[in-house]
Amino acid sequence: MALLSCEELAVGYEGRILVKDIGFSVNAGDYLCIVGENGSGKTTLMKTLLGLRPPLGGRIARGEGLSGGQIGYLPQKSDIQRDFPASVREIVLSGCLGRCGLHRFFRRADRERAAAAMEKMQIGELAGRSFRELSGGQQHRVLLARALCASEQLLLLDEPVSGLDPQMSAKMYRLIEKLNRESGVAVIMITHDIAAALAYATHILHVGSHLFFGTREEYIAREYPQGAPEYRDILPGGEERA
């Protein structure tokens, strides 16, 4: 069974439908990039997948054991409280809250999970630092580590490099790809960066002027009929994929 699938899904807010007839599925190890015009409903779709907004039609099915609270989520930059007065360790550990059940206390396994997530994001040495003292790139990695604590099955990332310079964006993309490739975690990422989508995604979902869901190769064949671009030539920062 797919980790997440949608059939004839309609999303919007206050009864107003932004996009409808959405259909796609995500399996373990997939890397899905959601692209489309501004205001086309990408973030609303992601919030609906998380259960933060009700669907206005259609169906969302989650795999066994994958509730809305067990999906790792990295929101848009505008949704993040950058001056939050907590340590890196506390913020990352808070990603385990969905696993605590009614007891709401952290176990040794949670602390070990948080430590492992920080190491994967290369921020272990920042554990005792205040979150608000970090650079933008460091804060992004802290929040990604927090999302990873919530789920090692599925991560939903809304513009995860927003506000970062090209060098830090490229580093963030490589960390996300490494998680996907080496840990097998499925990724659903909203991005305006078509270069990143073509470089890293296994599948593309386009919403807005038209709907499309398929593999990266199918998307390129449709959107670039004159010939597929070479991904390595358009990677963020001009860097080649390892």
Sign of the four-CA dihedral 149, 153, 159, 163: positive
Average pLDDT score over residue span 207-213: 91
Q: 111 pLDDT exceeds 80?
A: yes
Q: 237 pLDDT exceeds 70?
A: no
- What does the mean pLDDT of the chain come to? 86
Q: Give SS3 for 205.
A: strand
Percent of the chain with pLDDT over 70: 85
Q: Which residues lie across from 61 on neighbouring strands?
A: 5
Closest CA to 74 of 148, 2, 167: 148
pLDDT in tens, 149-208: 988 889 999 999 988 888 889 899 999 999 999 888 999 999 988 888 888 999 999 998
Closest CA to 45 of 205, 178, 241: 205
- pLDDT grade for 101, boundaries at 50, 70 and 90: low
pLDDT in the model for residue 194: 87
- pLDDT grade for 93, boundaries at 50, 70 and 90: very high
Q: 233 pLDDT exceeds 50?
A: no
Q: How far apart are CA 11 and CA 199, in angstroms?
A: 28
Element containing residue 216 per DSSP (H, E)? helix 216-223
Q: Give SS3 for 237.
A: helix
pLDDT in the model for residue 65: 65
- pLDDT grade for 226, boundaries at 50, 70 and 90: low
Q: Which residues lie across from 94 on neighbouring strands?
A: none
Q: How far apart are CA 51 and CA 68, in angstroms?
A: 6
pLDDT in the model for residue 113: 92
pLDDT in the model for residue 67: 62
Give the single-character DSSP code of 63: -
Element containing residue 200 per DSSP (H, E)? helix 194-200
- pLDDT grade for 236, boundaries at 50, 70 and 90: very low
- pLDDT grade for 8, boundaries at 50, 70 and 90: very high
- Buried-state track 174-195, b at ≥16 Cβ within 10 A, e below 16: bbbbebbeeeebbbbbbbebeb
The 10 Å Cβ neighbour count of residue 225 is 8
pLDDT in the model for residue 196: 87
Average pLDDT score over residue span 103-127: 89
Cα distances (Å, whole numbers) of residue 147 to 64, 93, 118, 203, 237:
19, 10, 11, 21, 25
Average pLDDT score over residue span 216-242: 62
Closest CA to 117 of 145, 142, 89: 145
β-strands 154-158, 72-74 pairing: parallel
Q: Cβ distance 71 to 156 under 8 Å?
A: yes
Q: How far apart are CA 84 and CA 133, in angstroms?
A: 10
Q: How far apart are CA 212 and CA 205, in angstroms?
A: 6
Q: Name the least confident of 7-16, 60-69, 162-171, 181-190.
A: 60-69
User: What global pTM score does this model have?
Assistant: 0.86
